[in-house]
Structure 1
Amino acid sequence: MFSRLFRLAIFSCSLAMTTSAHAADTIETQRQQFDDARLQLDKLSARKTVPQSLRKQIDDLKDYPLYPYLQLSLFKRNLEKRSVKDIEGFLNTYKKLPFKHSLRVLALRKKFKRKQWQDVIALYRPGDKTSYQCMQLTALYKSKQQSKALFQVESIWLSGTSLPKQCDFIIKRWQKAGKQTSALTMQRIELTLEKRQGRLAKYLAKSLNAKDKKTYLYWKKLYNKPQMVSNSHYWKKRGHFANVAMRIAIERLTYRDIAKAMTLIGKIKNHIGFTEKVRAQLINNIALRAMLKDKESAETALTHIDWALLNASKQEQILRHLVGDSQWPLIAALYSKHYRQKDAPIEWQYWYASSLENMGNTQRANALYQEIAKKRRYYGFLASDKLGINYSLNHQALNKDQRIIDDLNKNDYLQRAKEFYLLGDDLPARREWYQLVKPLSEEQRIAAAHIAHDWQWHNRAIITLTMTEQRNDLNLRFPMPHKGDFQTQAKKQDMTLSWPLAIARQESAFLKDATSSAGARGLMQLLPGTAKLQAKKDGVLYYSRKQLHEPQLNIKLGTAYLSAMLARFDNNLAVAAAAYNAGPHRVKHWVKEELAQDQWVETIPYRETRSYVKNVLAYAVIYQHHLAQQQKLPSSAIDPSRMGLANK
């Protein structure tokens, strides 16, 4: 509620300076009437008639930007009883609004439930997800268009994963019509094995003919026990399915028993059932896994690896392993052989320079550091520290083009986004904002970012700028909303203010209602369980996960949890940030030996956490700049003994 009132206060001040008091009063009155009408509609049972007084209240809001959403609420009442003509007419009237797709598929689902087959067919669109496609095929079948429906089932059925329940009816009819041949089933089993869906493959195998079932059972043993691939009789089998099954078995063995997989390299090189590319990829995987698991020296493993077939991610895996082992000559050799400086990823550039430094070639290393230090990035800051020079923050404020801003303020999408934002409805506000910025030019998006920033809708300003080539306006990209709350909690935890700000910027880009796929919520993305424990520890009243969308509480608990991670991990922000992201139970297994911090960060096994930590450290520097603090990348040696992790 406070957040909503705060937003309204901002806009009231802005409107007072740019519009007449009467106009401001009008839009404010309409906003209140909209909110009231929407609340009444939400409470009104779908079976009850909408009162005439409420309809009049809605009609009086025709000039209000969010009027279409009231019409949507009215139209959705008894949607299943509306004709396709009416639905199409409504969709056409509001064809530019974000709810067009969701309304159509809602109508499709309701029509399907009521077995209104012709309406289902009419409402379906090519490209709809599989469940809707199966609804449409069922409707075709029920409408005496069986041949047309059954003809389209095969492409849906040939899937490596289970199909939605909406497909059950049409698939059964397709099977009953004799369309599921044993050969086709073998094709799908192959797809399921590629997806590692062994149970689904077992289910599908029930419908195989005797010959194909024998083939499946033969290879099923190998799939379940890939260590059997060393048996010579498997290598004598020929045919497409045999080749696929052998490849999958070797891939599975590589991750289950690398020592045994290493003994197969000679056989793989000579197996005529594999293409040259498949041979090289299998050997690459084995050699890489052997190196990462310390089953083979890096020098030996690299002799087996075809570098050209490695994607950037696997090349980086090799680099990170070598960095963790301080294999400076190997890093330098790989860089010299495979990269040119201007094309090399920045992490390769930095670690090549570091390798040269560690090998005594300081002059060449410093020349490379000078180039890297020009970049406002984690590695740029590391390079600056190596040279003992100031960071290149390269802040350049983006100009406001008032003409473009004035034009955008007339845009329907922007007006609807603004009203939803003021009402505290961030999700529909973000949907409208996306529709606004999607077709805009670079200059228009910059103006839109300025507008969002002025509204203090910082998340949208940040996201909108990512849709441009502009990265140098640090005020737009790194705002400090809720600064007072962050300041209070940082002081309470005896923590530098730049650290929780950096965490919040990385976690949610200051989106207060952010919810991750794992269930983390709010500005600092706290899991409800973590929040509950932290609240109990601090004596904070916490009774619902919805509270985590309240910035003040989220900042309080998030900063306290960050403080707990810092206390646990020697006040090292890199390790504490890793624990904040991945959990302390994982991180304690990653701190194995004394390492320089830059080396340790590179060895973090999770890509998401590794990027997260690098960003938090770099963002901390930028917030130090904003707060007029000394700019220094948080860095200290990783010492397990100081974290209570020695000999673990």
Structure 2
Amino acid sequence: MFTYAKKRLVSADVESAARLWDTQSSAFKLSAAQIHRIERAIALQLAFNKSELAYARFNQLTKLDATTRLWAVRAALIEHNWRRTGAPGNPSPKGKKETERWRYWQAKALLETNQREKGLAIFKQLANERSYYGFLAADFLQQDYALGNKPIQLNEQDKSRLLSRQKFAVVSEFKALEMEKEAQQFWWEAVRNLKGDDLLSAAKIAQQWHWHRLAILTVSRAKYWDDVALRFSIEKPPSKKVVLINPLEKIAALLEGRLCYPNYFYRTN
């Protein structure tokens, strides 16, 4: 019961819990396992809170498991204890993003401990990645980002073949009639069963039509991430010129059926 209550206090106010534990722990008859669980919880919570007291607490633990060893290194980073950060035997986390972050800070630790060549070697490898830490490494090396841009190639033959399909013909008709909402809604029916290169071609067609949101969502179905311009478009669609209509001309246009609601206040050229 005491162990449970103590762990609850650690979560709520870890620094108060640590002070209480330091002064009162000897008053309780606890097993070595119970003591370790409480001290482990205090060390981890201090690290979660990015407290500068965390690393000293990890040093007090009688043994470290994979989790506490990992967080001990992170605690060392908090206080810029570079030698502890890059110590041999420190575990590297799994997962690409975690590994890149680990390599970045490992390189920083090596640079801060007069191991410049080793640190720069890691940065040079990391700078080849199109990722947050890859870009940070490139900034440090003062070199261009490795965007790895590989645009989807769409030739006219593939484009014509795809647009000749019945469902794409419907999309094209809606688009020709300036019924953009209907065209974009039917787009998903047109691409529903596409796979591989056809899906990539469809994404490129959407990009050419300035349907950037649909292009991004379509290419994501193909899990193709290397067309950077398509995925992060900054191009604006061409704007239509709006011309206000004279009231008498508006009435005449309505009577002749040349203008219909809701566009009766303006026409587009």
TM-score by length of 2: 0.63
8 A contact 2:151–2:228 mirrored in 1:
yes
Corresponding position: 1:443 with 2:197: yes
d(CA) in 2 for partners of 1:323 and 1:433? 50
Structure 2: any 5+ residue segments left out of the alignment?
240-269
| In the alignment, structure 1 residue 338 sits paired with structure 2 residue 95 | no
Match of 2:248 in 1: none
The answer to whether 1:308 aligns with 2:49 is: no
Residue among 364, 369, 372 paired with 2:118: 364
- The amino acid of 2:46's aligned partner reads A
Q: How is 1:119-518 mapped onto 2 (pairs within 5 angstroms)?
A: 230=2, 246=4, 252-259=8-15, 261-262=17-18, 263=21, 267=30, 270=33, 285-291=41-47, 292=49, 294=51, 296-301=53-58, 304=61, 307-309=65-67, 322-333=76-87, 336-339=89-92, 345-400=99-154, 402=156, 404-409=158-163, 410=165, 412=167, 415=170, 419=174, 423-425=179-181, 429=184, 433=187, 437=191, 439-482=193-236
1:24-43 equivalent positions in 2, closer than 5 A: none
CA contact (8 A) 2:93 2:102 kept: no
1:93 match: none
Sequence identity, in percent? 22
Q: Which has the higher contact order (CA 8 A, sep 6+)?
A: 2
Could you list the runs of 5+ residues in structure 1 that have no partner in the other structure? 1-228, 236-245, 272-278, 486-648
The residue correspondences of 1:65-104 to structure 2 (distance < 5 A) are: none
What TM-score does the superposition give when structure 1 sets the normalisation length?
A: 0.29
- Cα deviation 1:372-422 (Å, max 9, x = unaligned): 111222322222232233332332222115555445432638845984895
The answer to which structure has the higher helix fraction is 1
- For residues 323 and 340 of structure 1, do their structure 2 counterparts lie closer, same or farther at Cα, with a shift above 3 Å needed? closer
Retained in 2: the 8 A contact 1:287–1:302?
Answer: no
| CA offsets 1:312-344 (integer angstroms, 9 cap, x no match) | xx95x776654443232222127x421289976
SS in 2 for 1:391: coil
Q: Deviations over 1:221-241 (max 9, x none)?
A: xxxxxxxx64xxxx6xxxxxx
The one-letter code matched in structure 1 to 2:114 is: G
Q: CA deviation at 1:256?
A: 1.1
After superposition, the Cα gap between the structure-2 partners of 1:319 and 1:270, relative to the gap in structure 1 and judged at 3 Å, is closer
Asked if the contact 1:376/1:391 (under 8 Å) is kept, the reply is yes
Partner Cα separation in structure 2 for residue 358 and residue 483 of structure 1: 49
Q: Alpha-carbon deviations, 1:3-56, whole Å to 9, x = none?
A: xxxxxxxxxxxxxxxxxxxxxxxxxxxxxxxxxxxxxxxxxxxxxxxxxxxxxx
The answer as to whether partners of 1:319 and 1:348 remain within 8 angstroms in 2 is no
CA RMSD of aligned residues (A): 4.3
Whole-angstrom CA distance in 2 between matches of 1:388 and 1:325: 27
3-state DSSP of counterpart to 1:259? helix
- Report deviation, 1:481: 2.8
Aligned-partner Cα distance in 2 for 1:284–1:411? 65
Does structure 1 retain, via aligned residues, the 8 Å contact 2:199–2:222? yes
Instruction: Tell me, in whole angstroms, the C-alpha distance in 2 between the residues paired with 1:435 and 1:306.
Output: 55
1:551-630 equivalences in 2 (<5 Å)? none
Deviation for aligned residue 1:254:
2.5
Aligned partner letter, 1:357? L
